[in-house]
Structure formats: C-alpha cells, structure tokens
Structure 1
Amino acid sequence: MSEKKQVFGPLRLRCHEASSLKKMPYDERYTEYIEPLGLLPFIHMAPDEIVNKRGEKLRVSAGATFTWISQNFKTCPEGASRDLIKLYARVYVWYVITRTLFPDCSGNTAQWHWLKALTKMETKWSWGSAALAFLYRQLDEACCRISKDACIGGPLLLLSIWSWERFPVGRPRVLDYKNYNDHGNQLRRPTWAYQWDIVSEFSGDPIAAYQTYTNEIEFLVSKQSVVQVCETSVRVS
C-alpha cells in the first residue's frame, strides 16, 4: 500500500450493537450452568437439539441467524424442567459469545462450530485465550484487505477498552456509573470494563475523525500512554 500510495481507510465493523443483546434477556436460572464454563464474569448445544425443539428447518447451513435465535429462545418458560433451562442457557451463551467475542464477516449468524465448546457445560475452557487469538487473526486478515468492502471482526469491544485505557486518542468521555447488582456472587462483580459502561456518544463524521485520530496517534509518545494508565488506576481506586 505504501508503494502504491494507497491510504488505509477505516474498516467496516462486524461486531454487533450491545443494545441488541436486550432481545435475549438474561435469566438467573442460567447461572448455575454458565458458572462452570468460566463465562459468568463476562455474561451481563448441539444444532440438532435446537432445531428439533422447534421442528423448523434453518436456511443458513453454517449456523442460525440471531433473529431466529431471539424469536425462538428469548424467554425460558416458567416451570421449565432442568434440562430445558440448561438448553436455554446453552443457547444464551452461544448467542452472546458469537455476537461479542467471535463475530466475523459471515453476517448476522451464530456459527454452529462454537457449539462444540458448549456441548459439556461443566467444562471450563480458556475463553480469554481463544478470544485473543481470534482477535489477532481478525486484525491480521483486516490489514491484508484493501478493497472498499474490507471489514474487521473479533471482540472489538475488548480492543476498544484496551485502547481507551492506554491512548488519549479517540476515546469517549465517561459520563456516569449505574448501580450494579452482583446477586451476592463474587464472579458477578463488575470487570475493569464497567468503568466505560456509560460514555459520551460520537456524532461527527467518521471519515474525518479517522483521519484526525491517525494524525494524533503518529505524534503520541510513550510517556503519554503510561501517564494515562496511572491516572485511570487512581480514578478506579
């Protein structure tokens, strides 16, 4: 790109809005099944098992659309059996991780292959390592795309928080904090990212902002990022 004098423009994001998760409300009955997975701090099934429950044929062979999942598994019925609650919990985790941790360029679809790791709900995988590796791959592939349709996936929310904590460029302004209910479970306590829960929204021209951020980053020095980390630590304390 440097030799051809090409400008690396902003990429289209393939992560999905956090507000869309409201379509799949969390049920406290899921907690006992999600906690062994090691995903409880992150949380705000076999394909045949899901399809057979509704008796419907899905059009997407690679997975199920988020709309279909929300329509069919939005609310776990009252008085449901433990097996049914566990099924709904598995679908909820599948829905959340494919929207936030592992989104790719395949569209609004929850890929079937992520269900393999959720077959045994009592197994605790290293989700952090998997998410980080997936992000690295998405960043690498994004940097190799130079077409107008270039896009990027992966846990970009985690990447954004990492960036906001370290660089005084392009980060929003923290507005307030909401009361947090951990339901008496230490694993449900807020993570470091919670301090960025309520921030100012960007309303300018994204192309102009991208060029501004690029220029500002080029003039950053290492001392600026170190000072910001220290200031953030004091504020949190």
Structure 2
Amino acid sequence: MASINVSCVPRNPELLWLQAADEHRSYIISHDRALTKEPRCRRGDGGLNRLMQDAWRPETNTFHFPIGEATVTLQDVQVIWGLPIQGPPVCGKWVTKTRNVEYWKNLCQEYLGIYPEDDDLRKGRMKFNRLAGTITFEHWDPNDDERCQQMARRVILALIGSQLFPDSNSYDVSLNYLPFLGDLSIAGRRSWGSATLCCLYRNLSKGTWPTRQGIDGPLLLLQYWAWERFPRIAPRVTPFKPDDGEEEEVYEYGSCLANKWCGDHSNRDTPGHCKISFRSFFNALTPDQFEWTPYNNFINILPASCKTGRSIWRYMGPLICWEEVEFHLADRVARQFGLIQAIPDNDALVAPAQHKTLIKMRKARVDYCEVHADYIDQWNNRAQRIHQGDRGATCAPGYMQWYLERTVLTVGKPGQQQPPSQYPQWGVTQQFYVCVNNYLYIL
C-alpha cells in the first residue's frame, strides 16, 4: 500500500511560489531541517509573533489559516492606534553620509531644542536612550509655545523609533523624520498609518527568510490585532483601578482601541505564551474561533481619529514607506470588512520579478518620491481603488476548495509527535485530505 506524506507544498503552486525549497522558513521546519538560528523577537509576545510569522505569506501579504486568509489592514492600524491613513505617503530623500555631524546637531537644536554630543549620533541617527532622556516635564511652562512644540517632537520621534518604525539592527532612531515634524499643524496630515502597515508587512516578509535572525517592526500592533481577532488566546484585562474613595469608573477607550490593553493582564484561561501552544491553536483553528469583524460593537464610540479614513479601509494598492513598497489587498480578506469572500483576482498580486526587486531595495541617497512615482500615483488615486462586494461575512461557493488547493495549512512539521494539547489538529487533517486528493488525481 502506497504511503501518503503530508506536504507543506501546495497542490497548485500558482499562488505561493515562494513556498519552494529554502524560500520560506516553514518549508525548512516541515522538512526537519535546521534553521540558521531561531529569530529573535524584540517586542511583544515572542511566541505569538513568531508563530504569526510562520503563517505569513509574502506573496499575498496575508496570514494563511485553515479558515482562509486574514491580515492586518488599514482599518486595524487606524482603529487600534488611531494613526491617520489619509494624506501623502511617508517618503522623500533619505540623507545619511551626505551630511556631517554638525548638520545633524543643528537639526536637533532647531527641531528638538537639544544639542547632542558626537557619541550620540551616527550616520544620521540618534541613540534612543539619549532622546528618551530628554523627555521630561520638570519645570514645565505650558505658555512657552516653542518649548512645547520641541517637546512634542521629541515624544513623536521617540514613538517613531520605538513603535512605528523601529530599526532592525540597532536601538536608535533616524533623524530623517524630523523635517516631517517641522510644522506640527500639518504633520498629522501625512499617512503615518499606511507607512506603519507597510513597515509591518515588510518585516513579516523578511521574517520568513530561513536565514533571518531577527523580527522587528511594529510588532505591538500585530499583537493587539491577534488579541482582537483570536479571543481565545487574548489575556484578560483588568482596567486601571480608580483612586481610593472614588466610585468605580466605566471603562472608556479614550484616544484609540489600544488603550483597552493598558490594564493588568491575566493569562489564566489562555494558552501558554510559547510556540507549542500557539502552534497547536493555529493548526486547530475553526471559523468560530476567529473574529472577522471585532470592532462593530464599539466603532461608534471611538474618537473620530479612529474612523476618519474608513472610506479607504478597503483600498487595493501599494503602501509606501521610504524605500519600502508593499501591497494592501482588501479583496483577499473581504470577510474582515463584513463582505462575502469570493475567489480573489490573482492579477492584483505582485509578479515574482517585481517582488524580488522591491524586497531587495535598501535605503540610499536618492529621492524615493521620484523612484516610487508610479506607486505614489496609485496611492493618490486611492479613492478609485476600493474593493466592492456583497454584504455578509461568509465565503462564496467554491472559495474554500480553491483556497485549500493553493495553500499550506500546517505550521510546523506534519506527522511530528506533539505534546498533549486541548486543540485537535484540524489544520493537519485538512492538509492530509488535500494531499490525498492530489495523490488520487495523479493516479
């Protein structure tokens, strides 16, 4: 009797062309081959973020789960963090070695009100600890407008360096963002949200490389997204307690949804924060364990900053952040917008040659507004690039059959003995059925 191996290669390779040998870390894991090194995760829940990375598919910029595709969207980045998504992209001329250290010192003096030492600067970057140490409100004069604006720029730059666009190689922050913060009255009109999402997509894609030794980017955004979408793995949160003598206050979201997770966390009834537990959960994921539209119940009570860009939440096109260009494909995750998920149009995907060109692009002494002029034109016409669909967060007939033939449902090594788990290996079972059908088709 012939044996059937559960493979991590899709039956139809037209979609996941990077799932070839040595192109995706999940292929290496499933073939029981050693990775160069287990990637480090500098922020958030390392076990959760690494398993999300294993399910990430750079070809589609989506996670592939047994229930279908899902991803972090423009809606998520605006609702969770309240970042603006309308406006021009975060793009321009990247300046590094073309300026001497005095240029950067004078820039810091003008915009931040500090004059750093030579040891605090390197190639247009400032040590994060040096910047953070200047954020203090002692002897604060709220009537000093110039001082207030300089302090605001320090806080914004610190957030940029620590949360939105953290550097993957060092713990410092680029000063190239300072010119964008010159006039704070218009700085918020730039699309910081789309740039943050582009940065997340790019770092997740790089994290799938077998030789990659670090995972970075806005991983706290990814963690909050996972907690909202997968309630069974989210910790219980106790809101901040009121001061003694005061009545208990009703919790409010405040400036953005992320405030929901600012209380004390309890993981008593959630999986252990390790790879084995999360791997079992994702392999066993069923439709009732994923929240397709988690914001519907409270979207109306969130502040306007979390909703002003809802007209482009279903945008189909490029996201830009300096040299990085990644594509936001709302048609692949229509259920996240309350629409019926039909078979997506693969013509919207980036061609392999174009993908390799974009992923290899590095920061250089060029004006990226000129380099990415075609992509910027597409972004500027975003109002005409909105995915349309019928209401109903379900699948169209034939979608799951189409999807199962073109994806990989297992995260890990198929057939490998796993520790006892409360989650059945439903994803492995689905993958087995696909492989059986493939075997019968060949016969």
| Cα RMSD (Å) | 3.7
3-state SS of paired residue (2:274): helix
Relative to structure 1, the CA distance from residue 143 to residue 47 in structure 2 (aligned partners, 3 Å threshold; closer, same or farther) is: farther
Q: CA deviation at 1:7?
A: 6.5
Counterpart for residue 153 of structure 1: 216
Alignment-mate amino acid for residue 39 of structure 2: L
**What does 1:58-137 correspond to in 2, within 5 Å?**
58-59=118-119, 60-61=121-122, 62-75=124-137, 77-79=139-141, 81-123=144-186, 124-137=189-202
Structure 2: which 5+ runs fail to align? 1-24, 46-80, 84-103, 243-252, 302-443
Task: Provide the residue aligned with 2:254 in structure 1.
Answer: 189
Q: Which has the higher contact order (CA 8 A, sep 6+)?
A: 2
TM-score, normalising length: structure 1: 0.67
> Which residue number corresponds to residue 12 of structure 1?
40
1:70-113, CA deviations, whole angstroms, 9 ceiling, x for partnerless residues?
Answer: 22342364347322221121111111222111113132211112
Relative to its length, the structure with more helix (as a share) is: 1
Distance (Å, rounded) in 2 between the aligned partners of 1:84 and 1:126: 26
Query: 2:106: which partner in 1?
Result: 48
Deviates more, 1:158-167 or 1:112-121: 112-121
Deviation at 1:174, TM superposition (A): 1.8
Distance in 2 of aligned mates of 1:157 and 1:57: 31
Matched, 1:224 2:293: no
Is contact 1:101–1:155 with CA below 8 Å preserved after alignment? yes
Structure of greater Rg = 2
Alpha-carbon contact 1:14-1:153 (below 8 Å) kept: yes
Change (3 A) 1:195 1:202: same
TM-score normalised according to structure 2 size = 0.38
Structure 2 vs 1, CA of residues 210 and 71 (structure 1 numbering), >3 Å: closer, same or farther?
Answer: same
CA-CA distance at 1:131 after TM superposition: 0.8
Q: Would you say the 8 A contact 1:16–1:99 is kept in 2?
A: no
Residue 193 of structure 1 aligns to a residue whose secondary structure is helix
Report the CA distance shift for 1:190/1:51 in structure 2 as closer, same or farther (over 3 A). closer
Q: How far apart, in 1, do the equivalents of 2:218 and 2:291 lie?
A: 24
Bigger mean CA offset, 163-172 vs 100-109:
163-172
Task: Quote the sequence identity (%).
Answer: 22
Could you say if the C-alpha distance between residues 223 and 151 of structure 1 is closer, same or farther in structure 2, counting changes exceeding 3 Å?
A: same
* Equivalent-residue separation in structure 2 for 1:207 and 1:172 (angstroms): 10
Aligned length: 198
Partner of 2:275: 210
- Matching residue's letter, 1:165: E
Match of 2:204 in 1: 139
Structure 1 distance, partners of 2:279, 2:127, is: 35
Amino acid at match of 1:136: Y
Aligned equivalents of 1:16 and 1:200: distance in 2?
13
| CA displacement 1:38-91 (0-9 Å, x = unmatched) | xx956xxx7523257544423231411121112234236434732222112111
